[in-house]
Amino acid sequence: EPEVTQTPSHQVTQMGQEVILRCVPISNHLYFYWYRQILGQKVEFLVSFYNNEISEKSEIFDDQFSVERPDGSNFTLKIRSTKLEDSAMYFCASMRAPGAAGELFFGEGSRLTVL
């Protein structure tokens, strides 16, 4: 069964450093997302991406965050200058299409620890 894959599974970084989290969505999916989950809290929407551009972003997704689809398979989330409060599990997700086929598939997550 196809699945969303994410790397790294865990990254530890110093405050102020840049971090890139990588995702490979399911191959025939068209909509891509990043969500964040701080330990013990709910899953929070960060950004959605469709047709090679951001379609929506939350207030969490400030200028320190960016996303890119550098080739036909990868979808990356970059945090330019990490803060302590960026420590969380970051989930990539993809969807084939909204509507009748609107199931969202999550990756296993990348745990980011900022020291």
User: Which parts of this chain interact with another protein (CB under 8 A)?
Assistant: 31, 33, 41-45, 48, 50, 55-56, 91, 95, 98, 100, 102-109
Output the smallest distance, CB 53 to another protein, in A.
Answer: 14
| 89 alpha carbon, distance to own chain's centre | 9
Please report where in the chains the tokens 């701080």 appear, as a residue: 38
CB of 36 to another protein, least distance (A): 11
In angstroms, what is the minimal distance from the CB of 107 to another protein? 6
Cβ proximity to another protein, 80 vs 105, nearer residue: 105
Looking at beta carbons only, is 61 or 114 nearer to another protein? Answer: 61
Which position has the token pair 């970051």? 90
Q: Tell me: cis bond preceding 70? Omega within 30 of 0 counts.
A: no
From CA 93, how far away is CA 54, in angstroms rounded? 14
